[in-house]
Amino acid sequence: MNTKNNKNSVILISAIMAVVVTALFLIVKITTIFVTAYIFALIGIATFCAGSIYMLSSPKSYPWFAAFPMRIWQYLIAELVLSTVFVLWENMSDTSLPVQWFILLHIILLASFSITLILMKSGKEIIDQRGDEVKQKVVALRLLQVDMESLIRKFPKYEKELRKVADALRYSDPMSHPSLTVHEEQIQRGIVTMDNSEESVRIPERCAELLRQIADRNTKMKMMK
């Protein structure tokens, strides 16, 4: 409900700005520069409206969610200031600035704004992708810890040895390099292998091997950073 109200507010604000800009036709001399300024003002208002509605409809992703509307406002203000300077100069001076330069400056401003948004969007996708990767690796490591806790409950006789492995996993960096996948799969297989009552007598031996593999994996992680 709040999102819907916010969208309605954005549309209402955009409509008011458009009406105010259009009302200037009643008091400002209509020239090529003024008509050009009016067109770009509508573009800025439309960008503000569309961009704000897009952000309200999108998942909140900082810093994208904070930077995107700020950049829209910056463009809208810069565009209006540029137009105001040219229009006032034309109405208060005997000479007018070249309309070609006026249009060129607006095009450069719009291009700069668009390129910045494209780069910001690309950065957001990279950040989101990295965040998803981190979550997956953290979850994978947590699952191994859960498996170890399950083994401790199942084989309380070997709690001391199993606890050492669980602690080693707890203090390991969840992020890893693709080249370490083989080591991590070995660790996972070693933990799964211990979940066998017939092989329980070998748990101390397997725990010692797991500790070595985890230490080896962590050492290589540090070397790759």
200 lies in some domain: yes
- The mean per-residue pLDDT over the stretch 41-48 comes to 88
18 and 80 assigned to the same domain = yes
Identify the DSSP state of 172: S
Q: What is the pLDDT of residues 145-193, one digit of tens each?
A: 888 888 888 888 888 989 999 888 888 877 666 677 777 888 888 888 8
- Comparing CA positions, the residue from 151, 78, 154 lying closest to residue 86 is 78
- Comparing CA positions, the residue from 73, 100, 97 lying closest to residue 87 is 97
Identify the DSSP state of 208: H
Domains identified in the chain, total number: 2
Most confident of 44-58, 84-98, 173-187, 205-219: 205-219
145 and 201 assigned to the same domain = yes
105 lies in some domain: no
158 and 202 assigned to the same domain = yes
Residue 16 pLDDT: 92
12 lies in some domain: yes
Q: In angstroms, rounded to a whole number, what is the distance separating the alpha carbons of residues 140 and 166?
A: 14
81 and 157 assigned to the same domain = no
Residues 6+ apart with CB under 8 A from 152: 159, 162, 163, 166
Residue 44 pLDDT: 87
Per-residue tokens: 28: 């400002």
114 lies in some domain: no
Final residue before a domain boundary, out of 52, 69, 97: 97
Residue 19 pLDDT: 93
141 and 86 assigned to the same domain = no
CA angle, 195 then 196 then 199, to 5°: 120
204 and 155 assigned to the same domain = yes
Residues 6+ apart with CB under 8 A from 72: 47, 48, 51, 52
What's the pLDDT band for 1 if we cut at 50, 70, 90? very low
Residue 64 pLDDT: 55
167 lies in some domain: yes
For tokens 């070693």, what's the residue? 190
Final residue before a domain boundary, out of 51, 69, 97: 97
Tell me which residue range forms the domain holding 27. Answer: 2-97
Element (H, E) at 216: helix 203-224
What mean pLDDT value characterizes the chain? 81
